[in-house]
């Protein structure tokens, strides 16, 4: 009776993630690059992979622990994050008043 199948749904095992993703980047165009069109809409990179939140606006480590992770290659992740994040605003005082 050691029901230790899954300690928590929150802490996701990177290896399991990787396996589920077929050890490939799961980016399907979020990064804005076009290489995805040649491989069933998915990035074909199998190297330089990282586990990172699917929700690219999640940046704090705490939030990332709770977020749903997925597999990215670094290149896609970097581009996707910079696309998803609003450019940290240059403090323009334009329309405050």
Alpha helices per DSSP H over the chain: 14-20, 61-66, 74-84
Q: How far is CA 94 from the centre of its chain?
A: 34
Asked if 51 is part of the footprint of Zn ion (rule: CB under 5 A), the reply reads no
Asked if 52 is part of the footprint of Zn ion (rule: CB under 5 A), the reply reads no
Asked if 81 is part of the footprint of Zn ion (rule: CB under 5 A), the reply reads no
Q: Which of 67, 71, 76, 81 binds Zn ion (CB under 5 A)?
A: 76
Number of residues that bind Zn ion (CB under 5 A): 7
Provide, rounded to whole angstroms, the least separation between the CB of residue 64 and Zn ion. 19
SS3 content of the chain, % helix, strand, coil (to 5): 30, 10, 60
What residues line the site for Zn ion (CB under 5 A)? 25, 27, 31, 43, 45, 73, 76
């Amino acid at each position: 009776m050691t029901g230790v199948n899954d300690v928590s749904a929150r802490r996701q095992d990177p290896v399991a993630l990787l396996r589920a993703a077929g050890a490939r980047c799961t980016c399907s165009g979020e990064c804005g690059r076009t290489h995805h069109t040649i491989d069933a809409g998915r990035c074909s990179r199998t190297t330089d992979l990282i586990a990172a939140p699917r929700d690219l606006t999640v940046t704090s480590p705490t939030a990332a622990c709770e977020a749903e992770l997925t597999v990215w290659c670094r290149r896609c992740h970097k581009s996707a994050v910079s696309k998803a994040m609003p450019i940290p605003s240059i403090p323009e005082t334009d329309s405050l008043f």
